[in-house]
Structure 1
């Protein structure tokens, strides 16, 4: 399998998307490895990026949206932004005869039940029921649509030409969802901070740079099949994540660990109000403990948490004051303080009964 230092044959790579969250680093990494890159998108998001890279314009939601791709050939097409299954089939109608490999960026949300610890790519019985072929974002869940997309990719391009990568939560600089960013941002602010669950609760995510580099190297190795892609390699706990974030700041943050049941009773949502974190029990016992041995054997690597946290903070501080004031995930300050006060009151009451 190709590694960072493996000599490689230059590829002609078409990236569908390429200018959003995970695309830019993917493009930069592919170029640094000597590949030729073409981008296909609407030309709306960050259109000034990569002035020296060929750009083809098309709207996947419009009639004739793939016209710019007709009659062209590439060694690899990487499909980053698929939201509805028909995009796979429609792209395939134009590209399948003329490309060597199709890469479908899927998701670990394809697994419906994560009660099992160590779910692997072989656990096909744990996958969501595939959505209808014509599913929309309103008619089926994200996981159901991605399962259908995986099926359509294999049917349209052929299993021997299809590579499927299932990332977990994608984080790092460029993320606009704040689903990881909330934690280093909040840690940097200092003071008493609500920490969800227990210090030993597992968490998992993947830096977008590790993900995109892995995808490019899989293409270089002519890999096919399916890969779970999340990390880090040896697992991570909530306390390790939070103290790792604190280590790249100068904050005086003090963590107060608040019981999962207490949080759930107050209708605080794991993965939203408390991003990254999911109580490790029931159908979520394996949420952050997936089997990634296949991907690691194929060359998936992970940069240090400190690098991800530091670069996430740097990116965040480059945004406008208005954007920095409106986090899209995590607890608003007033809600956090309210819950902490209620937790202290409960703990004080317990002490009084002892």
Structure 2
């Protein structure tokens, strides 16, 4: 199978390339040649720009295209139209952020999608990220003549994750000592190992599937407690966990995601369903999951191999954490 990947040298793109090569398939990359240019010297890398320079895609054909880098509907429309007739399946990587809200538990693929307030916006780095992705899905479905596969992942984790949102926890627990964690330990978490996502995408292409899939995991939601235990075991750490009331954290201006990665306050009804996404359709189609222990161990091993010491993009520093723990003792 010959597969074109729009992008291909960051995180999910890397996982897709490696899974295709391992399966004996042929990945071909299309990008600007700016990110990790040294990777995959034996893989064909076509150079161009999604926004107006698709010349390198002319007079070529593939079995499928996987679009890992589509954020702006106008630009996604260009590639969908260009690749019609050049491949049988267009795979678009979307997100669960396309849903209109997370107030409901067990959100399935038919849940209403978010609407863009400003039809001229192309600012995918802010609040318009989800609505823009929803419009990108629409442009693919309207402009590509062939099978369309849309994957809506939740949080994607594992080695080479540029966000550091999951990586923070294996790293922090590996340092040992008292670790500040938002209470309660039973809080649901959902995420998917990037390698599991890549394998499922390739699986669905080969099955000649089409349609939309929510893709997150594990089969039953993990918890903050189970994640931290897996981190402690992977790191052979002596860390102990201090479960801090959410009200204390919010009163002290501790911010979800930026200060405490993965934390979605349970007292916020707006996000009650964020970690309760329905993945039954993907499970029936064969979505599989690596053990949590493997994802944690591999992520920690990768993080330790980074040139460094690398500064994580998220998570509070140790001094701030210590200050809060001391204050919480008197709370």
- What is the aligned counterpart of 1:300 among 267, 287, 294? 287
Aligned to 1:34: 24
Partner Cα separation in structure 1 for residue 126 and residue 275 of structure 2: 27
Preserved contact between residue 200 and residue 286 of structure 2 (Cα < 8 Å): yes
* Alpha carbons of structure 1 residues 140 and 202: separation in structure 2 relative to 1, 3 Å: closer
Preserved contact between residue 84 and residue 137 of structure 1 (Cα < 8 Å): yes
Shift of 1:96: 1.5
Shift of 1:268: 1.7
- The SS at the match of 2:85 is helix
Matched, 1:53 2:39: no
Shift of 1:88: 1.0
- The SS at the match of 1:248 is helix
Shift of 1:322: 4.0
Preserved contact between residue 280 and residue 287 of structure 1 (Cα < 8 Å): no
Aligned to 1:112: 100
- What is the aligned counterpart of 2:319 among 325, 331, 334? 334
* TM-score (structure 1 length as normaliser): 0.89
Partner Cα separation in structure 2 for residue 307 and residue 35 of structure 1: 25
Residue deviations 1:139-163 (CA, integer Å, cap 9, x gap): 86211110110111101115x5211
- What is the aligned counterpart of 1:204 among 185, 190, 199? 190
* TM-score (structure 2 length as normaliser): 0.95
Report the number of matched residues: 329
Preserved contact between residue 204 and residue 276 of structure 1 (Cα < 8 Å): no
Question: Which structure has the greater CA radius of gyration?
Answer: 1
Aligned to 2:257: 271
Superposition pairs for residues 35-184 of structure 1, below 5 Å?
Answer: 35-61=25-51, 63=52, 65-123=53-111, 125=112, 127-130=113-116, 132=119, 135-137=122-124, 141-158=128-145, 161-184=147-170
Shift of 1:168: 0.7
Residue deviations 1:314-352 (CA, integer Å, cap 9, x gap): 1111112242xx111111111111211121111xxxxxx
- What is the aligned counterpart of 1:214 among 185, 200, 219? 200
Partner Cα separation in structure 1 for residue 25 and residue 323 of structure 2: 53
Matched, 1:312 2:312: no
Stretches of structure 1 that go unaligned for 5 or more consecutive residues are: 1-10, 347-354
Aligned to 1:245: 231
Preserved contact between residue 121 and residue 128 of structure 2 (Cα < 8 Å): no
* Alpha carbons of structure 1 residues 143 and 188: separation in structure 2 relative to 1, 3 Å: same
Preserved contact between residue 120 and residue 292 of structure 1 (Cα < 8 Å): yes
Shift of 1:204: 1.0
- What is the aligned counterpart of 1:321 among 295, 308, 326? 308
* Alpha carbons of structure 1 residues 139 and 278: separation in structure 2 relative to 1, 3 Å: closer
Shift of 1:137: 3.0
Aligned to 2:240: 254
